[in-house]
Amino acid sequence: MALLLEVEDLKVAFDTPRGTVRAVDGISFAVEAGRTLGLVGESGSGKSVTSLAVMGLHHGATVTGSIRLHGQELTGLGERELGAVRGRRIAMIFQDPLSSLHPFYTVGEQIAEHYRVHFRAGRKAGRAKAIEMLAEVGIPEPARRVDEYPHQFSGGMRQRVMIAMALACEPDLLIADEPTTALDVTVQAQILDLIARIQQDRGLGVVMITHDLGVVARVAHEVLVMYGGRAAEQAPAERLFAAPAHPYTRGLLDSLPRLDDGDDAPLRAIPGSPPSLLAPAPGCSFAPRCARTTAASAEEHARCLAERPPLDRLGPPTAGHLAACHLPLVPEGIV
């Protein structure tokens, strides 16, 4: 499969009155056509900032590193050139479609407008494209609903409209930032299935940003787990779920609801709060929340507090498994 997006050593920093916030501090990943990368982390982990940097929407931030789309370097491009890439070759959908849709225009006008700007198409062609797109995203009676307004659609249907709008320009890459977080579980599954189907039909590369490993399990081929602006763990999805090596990944997995939990089981979460991006601790940023280092020897614990763990390879090179932990978990039977 063709390499679509390559991000290398991306750093995004913001100057604030209280100091420099290193929102993203050196992450690398690649997305192939027809594949989905799951970008996972809590809020403040840097996952959304990463995607905004890829879109060139990182106003006021200092961005270093490399972002290449089809081999073309995007960092350093001017606003006009970036505008051509954004929306045309990379499209984005967000958690809350209502805030991205204009209440006073019909959904058809909004899908068509996007398309007409990028393809210099006329009104009639724009409307035809809008109907075609509504049909593709599974909205019944598209020829009628094209003239309706956003408030006439349910939350799930509005997210379908957003997907239609994003895909009207036939992008190569779709960045989906928590696209199903606001939806109930059934609708969530339908939207994820829709994205997966369209991805197969179009050979689209997808970056799925989420705090929910359950979403990742459903759609992702590769996974990047972010913590405090850095990569905690990266691996093909199958391997990550079979052999999570980083205690943070393990914590996220343990906090997933399970079928055998029963209805009134409490939701588990990883105790503690995300690290400061203003004044990161010298050692591992997960240390204050890490049960593994607490249980380790005094010597190992001291190392976790003093030395930042590098992102090291686990297992054979072909496994494509990386983790930033001095004491990675390695389950039996997995090399």
Residue nearest to ligand SF4 (CB): 284
Residue 115 or 227 having the CB closest to ligand SF4: 227
Pick one of 146, 270, 290, 322: the residue that binds ligand SF4 (CB under 6 A): 290
> Which residue of 36, 45, 48, 106 would you call a contact of Mg ion, by CB under 5 A?
48
Alpha carbons within 13 A on the beta-carbon side of 193: 8
Non-local (6+) Cβ contacts of 238 within 8 A are: none
Nearer to Mg ion, 48 or 100 (CB): 48
In the complex with Mg ion, the residue whose CB is nearer, 157 or 175, is: 175
Q: What 3-state class would DSSP assign to 86?
A: strand
Q: What is the largest CA-CA distance in the chain?
A: 72
With CB under 5 to 8 Å by kind, the binding choice for 110 among ligand SF4, Mg ion, none is none
Partner from ligand SF4, Mg ion, none contacting 314, C-beta within 5 to 8 A by type = none
Decide which of ligand SF4, Mg ion, none touches 208; Cβ closer than 5 to 8 Å per partner kind.
Answer: none
Query: Residue 325 in contact with residue 290, Cβ under 8 Å?
Result: no
Q: Give the nearest distance from C-beta 277 to ligand SF4 in angstroms.
A: 17
**Angle 123-136/107-119 helices, nearest 10 degrees?**
120
For position 286 contacting ligand SF4 by CB under 6 A, the verdict is: yes
Can residue 293 be called a binding residue for ligand SF4 (CB under 6 A)? yes
182 vs 253 by CB, closer to ligand SF4: 253
Amino acid in the structure at residue 138: G
For position 106 contacting Mg ion by CB under 5 A, the verdict is no
Q: Of 4, 31, 39, 287, which lies in the binding site for ligand SF4, with binding defined by CB under 6 A?
A: 287
Residue closer to ligand SF4, measured from CB, 47 or 326: 326
Residue linked to tokens 């055998």: 260
284 makes contact with ligand SF4 (CB under 6 A) = yes
Angstrom distances, CA of residue 74 to CA of 8, 80, 90, 207? 12, 12, 12, 17
Q: Which is nearer to ligand SF4, 36 or 285 (CB)?
A: 285
Rounded to the nearest whole angstrom, what is the least distance from the CB of residue 206 to ligand SF4 in the complex?
Answer: 28
Residue 306's φ and ψ, nearest 5 degrees, are -100, -35
CA distance 50 to 214: 21
Instruction: Show the DSSP H helices in the chain as ranges.
Output: 47-55, 79-85, 97-100, 107-119, 123-136, 142-145, 155-167, 185-202, 213-219, 237-242, 247-254, 291-295, 298-306
Instruction: Say whether 94 sits in a helix, a strand or coil.
Output: coil
Structure tokens at 120: 């210099």
Contacting range for ligand SF4; rule: CB under 6 A; set: 5-13, 19-27, 237-245, 320-328: 320-328
| Residue 48, binding choice from Mg ion, ligand SF4, none, Cβ under 5 to 8 Å by partner class | Mg ion
41 makes contact with ligand SF4 (CB under 6 A): no
Surface-to-core class of residue 247, CB atoms within 10 Å of its CB (0-12 exposed, 13-18 middle, 19+ buried) = buried
* Interaction between residue 129 and ligand SF4 (CB under 6 A): no
Shortest distance, position 108 Cβ to Mg ion, whole Å: 29
Residues 298 to 317 in contact with ligand SF4, rule: CB under 6 A: 304, 309
Q: Encoding tokens for residue 8?
A: 């290398």
Helices H, strands E: what count in the chain?
Answer: 13, 12
Residues that bind ligand SF4 (CB under 6 A): 246-247, 284, 286-287, 290, 292-293, 304, 309, 325-327
Residues in contact with Mg ion by the rule CB under 5 A? 48
